[in-house]
Structure 1
Amino acid sequence: MFERFFACFHLECLTFSPSRFSLFSFHVGLFGFSACSRLPVDPKKLSVLIDWVQLDPNWRKKVKGSSCHWYYILLTPQKWLIDTHMDAGINLLRLRYTKHPEWFRSDRICLLDTAFTQIWSAKYKEFLNSPANPDGSGKLLPSGALYYYTGEHPAYCRSDKTWVLEIDDIYVPLFINEDHWVACWISIPRRHIVIWDSFVGHTDDKEIAEAVKPIAHMLPYMLHMLSRGEDRELYTVDFTHERVPATETPQNVQSGDCGVYCLKYIECHALGLAFPFHDFCDKNVKQMRAKLAAEIFDETNINGTETREYKTALVYE
């Protein structure tokens, strides 16, 4: 079946007409950004990817942990994306933002990897249990928090831009209940978090609130500790949050493509584009995945086996 899958993709990339992959060609994006967006997915890029995958002698065996298996998951509709897939999609955005900031809605945005939300969620109890000084300072924030704040993390296409001073908007995937990706837009000036969810019925509002709580609570605390003067008083309470209704967010009716939808939400909003309901839908997921995989492979050289390394720093006041 795996062989037939790739054979099918290989045949398609060699035979379909230019209009076959014109998905989202009317705008820019992970599935074709800015000037690139006006072109359909490049069949040659997809062909190169498939040919490369088939160089692996174990490509038919779906060996877990191999680059072949990693791209197989990324290409296949209804296969759940793991954190490295999500980070690869974010890195493609970061790379293009570095090269072409004019494509994006602002030069004050930041695109974060999944490690940010994973670490902050895992360390939230430690933060709550850590003692504070009489003035409220001194609580232990997650290791590496300072490097995110200064733009040294993520290391891929690092921005070196400091939050508040040079960054207003943060985009990041959030993994909920160990089985579902949602997209977060954190507006620092508004002190507010917007959540785009491709399967609104999967989690209730209480679960969403619990999942976003570590960020909504610890982020303003960190900004308060690191800000100076009157700016400190802007961050004395938790950030508010909202989940956008399903009527305003393209929904993944078939299960398993939430990661692709999550990346697409981030892409569209970061580029200042409305969500294209007509084309951003389940019937086009195969094409969306193929374009994403081909462009990650072509532009980033990411193969899914990279080791993520992070410097650590503790933030106190």
Structure 2
Amino acid sequence: MQLLSDRCRVPPRKICSGSLTLGKKHLLSIPLRCGYIPFRPPQTDLISRFKEQLHKYRKSSYDIEGCDVGKTFFAEIYTPECWLFRTHIDFMVRAFWNKCGSHLASCNIVVLDSLLTQLLSAQYCSFVQACSPSTFVWHPLLASCVEGTLGDRSEKTGWLKDVHTVYTPMNWGNRHWVCLVISLDTWHIDILDPLLTETSDVKVSSFMAPLVRMLPHLIMSACEPDDIEHVDSTFFSYSRLDGLAQNTRGGDCGAYVIKFIEMHCHGYEANHLSHFSNLMVDNFRMEFALDVYKDFIGKLRVQ
């Protein structure tokens, strides 16, 4: 039988010309890829208008597509060292996909929110206790993730048929965020961890067990027979990448993870993700808040 790793690799990602120079102390030439600019400080006047509109808002909460979030929701996204919960992270992922999803889908990439890892972890005990993985009853939203039918996305994102690489954030123990890069070609998961010292190898193994054991069976259950001809139930492997920027001041791991997702799925390698200054983190947290606000609330009013 042909091994999964012997399958054809994904075509090289499209790269546009251009470059970006960062900082005075850390000069790093970063190519601009398909119009994506990884570090662009938001305009001062835009930030001022944004904060003014948030301050003038009189209701106690915002309704974002049926999800009720507190009045401080956007301030929590842009405030340095403020912990980001699943609701923050998932709307940040959705805003990013709305902006770049068409291009990423054309490169056989999909970016999912934390629902995938959350549901796999929640069903893990039942999966382990099941008589046979082939008869396990999967949560319907897990099947939708693999089939590419979750939500109202117009892009084709079925695993193995349309998509070869899956990006998703994962929460470890309700205290730390990491980014997972799931390769459907090599059956391997790269973990982009913004604070390696936070989690021991033993803990990592425990957190990753639901994915490495369940994903093969979920894929075989949800994908079309023609797409899984060379797939078997071999566990996924995983490894944590070294050399990435580390969230040493604390509280920013969720923001780091979204930036890791943005840059890595546009083809940036570890050397481009090796250093985020506090100012850079503050700026891209503000950018995330602005993107979510503009996507789900409306345009900022010009004075």
- TM-score of the alignment, normalized to the shorter chain, above 0.5: yes
TM superposition shift of 1:231: 3.3
TM superposition shift of 1:297: 1.6
Match of 1:144, SS?
A: helix
Counterpart in the other structure of 1:79: 82
Q: Which letter does structure 1 place at the counterpart of 2:50?
A: L
Match of 2:177, SS?
A: strand
Which structure shows the bigger proportion of residues in strand conformation? 2
Structure 1 residue 262 corresponds to structure 2 residue 263: no
Q: What residue ranges of structure 1 are gaps of 5+ in the alignment?
A: 1-18, 60-64, 303-317
Equivalent position to 1:97, from 96, 100, 108: 100
Counterpart in the other structure of 1:287: 283
**Change beyond 3 A, Cα 1:211–1:28:** farther
Q: Which letter does structure 1 place at the counterpart of 2:84?
A: L
Structure 1 residue 42 corresponds to structure 2 residue 37: no
> Is the Cα contact below 8 Å between 2:216 and 2:235 reproduced in 1?
yes
Structure 1 residue 113 corresponds to structure 2 residue 113: yes
Counterpart in the other structure of 1:14: none
Counterpart in the other structure of 1:238: 235
Match of 1:123, SS?
A: helix
> Is the Cα contact below 8 Å between 1:27 and 1:37 reproduced in 2?
no
Per mean C-alpha deviation after superposition, the further-off stretch among 179-188 and 48-57 is 48-57
Structure 1 residue 202 corresponds to structure 2 residue 198: yes
TM superposition shift of 1:193: 0.3
TM superposition shift of 1:271: 0.7
TM superposition shift of 1:70: 0.7
> Is the Cα contact below 8 Å between 2:105 and 2:156 reproduced in 1?
no
Structure 2: distance between partners of 1:173 and 1:263? 8
Equivalent position to 2:266, from 262, 271, 292: 271
Match of 2:287, SS?
A: helix
1:168-195: CA deviations, max 9, x gaps?
A: 0000000001100000000001100000
**Change beyond 3 A, Cα 1:68–1:156:** farther
TM superposition shift of 1:39: 5.6
Structure 2: distance between partners of 1:124 and 1:38? 38
Counterpart in the other structure of 2:167: 171
Q: Which letter does structure 1 place at the counterpart of 2:247?
A: N
CA RMSD of the aligned region, Å? 3.0
TM superposition shift of 1:71: 1.1
Structure 2: distance between partners of 1:76 and 1:28? 27
Q: Which letter does structure 1 place at the counterpart of 2:254?
A: G
**Identity score, percent:** 22
1:199-226: CA deviations, max 9, x gaps?
A: 1001011211211111111111122234
Structure 1: distance between partners of 2:29 and 2:84? 24
Match of 2:250, SS?
A: coil
Equivalent position to 1:69, from 72, 80, 83: 72
1:239-282: CA deviations, max 9, x gaps?
A: 0000112xx11101011000011111111111111353575233
TM superposition shift of 1:287: 1.6
* Aligned residue pair count: 265
> Is the Cα contact below 8 Å between 1:251 and 1:281 reproduced in 2?
no
Counterpart in the other structure of 2:91: 88
Q: Which letter does structure 1 place at the counterpart of 2:255?
A: V
Structure 1 residue 141 corresponds to structure 2 residue 110: no
Structure 2: distance between partners of 1:25 and 1:87? 30
TM-score of the pair, normalised by structure 2: 0.77
Counterpart in the other structure of 1:313: none
TM-score of the pair, normalised by structure 1: 0.74
Structure 2: distance between partners of 1:200 and 1:75? 24
Q: What residue ranges of structure 2 are gaps of 5+ in the alignment?
A: 1-22, 61-67, 299-303
TM superposition shift of 1:67: 4.3
Equivalent position to 2:245, from 250, 264, 282: 250
1:8-59: CA deviations, max 9, x gaps?
A: xxxxxxxxxxx9xxxx996669xxx826668642334323321220112478
